[in-house]
A and B are shown apart, each in its own frame.
Chain A
């Protein structure tokens, strides 16, 4: 398995509080992604990064921000959590090899906003 870990694995937080999820990789892969997984919606891209300090929005970026100050870490922040952000969040990495977009996934973070 690719060296990719997410923390925390589970979190319960209250509406209106800030939350930060961390994704850490040991593979030196260029690309990192945050997805959310919801029943009926599959996996939806929130934000992604194509290098240190280089990030871009995905299809469901509202209410989320990201930062990547080091190659190995990609942080996802919910500035003010809402119940609609209750979900399972997956981080993924890819090597940026133009021959393939294959991605490797973390174990997921289950976030509950009450």
Chain B
């Protein structure tokens, strides 16, 4: 069965520290993976997707099929990065399956 696991409910770091939000998935086919972000009182929005191989707001994520992971990383966290982050898996039936989310807190 398709599943997305985000093992950390809360991740707290100080400004300038590196950040890694973990995401593991279970899917038998060829996955499409996303990271969505939800800032306080705002709607969810796409942060990045693995097929784009891009860096958004300093965040990157690499799909590791061997480890079935899609961890989100940023070398130097900023206070404005504080938000809820969701990893999501797109299957070939056009559904998006989300993880339980990780709240990132960046302290000054």
Contacts and interface: CB of A to CB of B under 8 A. Distances in A.
Interface stretch (A10-18, A33-41, A62-70, A77-85): A33-41
Interface residues of A, number: 27
B11 interface: no
Contact of A102 (B46, B91, B98, B101): B46
A40 B99 CA distance: 10
Interface string B29-55: 000101010000001111001010000
Given A94-B96, A103-B96, A105-B43, 20 more contacts: A1-B43, A31-B94, A33-B95, A41-B100, A42-B98, A42-B99, A43-B98, A44-B98, A45-B95, A45-B96, A48-B95, A50-B94, A96-B94, A100-B32, A100-B51, A101-B34, A101-B96, A102-B49, A103-B46, A108-B43
Interface of B: 6, 9, 32, 34, 36, 43-46, 49, 51, 86, 90-91, 94-101
